[in-house]
Amino acid sequence: MSDLQELYQSLILDHNRSPRNFGVLDGADRHAEGYNPLCGDQVALDLKLDGDRITEIKFSGNGCAISKASASLMTTAVKGKTLAEAEALFTGFHGMVTGTAVPADPKATLGKLAIFAGVAEFPVRVKCATLAWHALHDAMK
Q: Does 67 bind Zn ion (CB under 5 A)?
A: yes
| Candidates 11-19, 58-66, 101-109, 113-121; binding stretch for Zn ion (CB under 5 A) | 58-66
72 near 21, Cβ under 8 Å? yes
User: Contact letters (x/-) for Zn ion, 91-130, by CB under 5 A?
Assistant: -------------------------------------x--
Amino acid at 126: V
Burial class of residue 28 (count of CB atoms within 10 Å of its CB; 0-12, 13-18, 19+): middle
Please state, in angstroms and rounded to a whole number, the distance separating the CA atoms of residues 118 and 141. Answer: 29
> In this chain, which of 28, 39, 49, 88 binds Zn ion, going by CB under 5 A?
39
Q: Which residue's CB is nearer to Zn ion, number 74 or number 83?
A: 74
Residue 124 Cβ, how far from Zn ion at the closest point, in Å?
A: 8
Q: Does 71 bind Zn ion (CB under 5 A)?
A: no
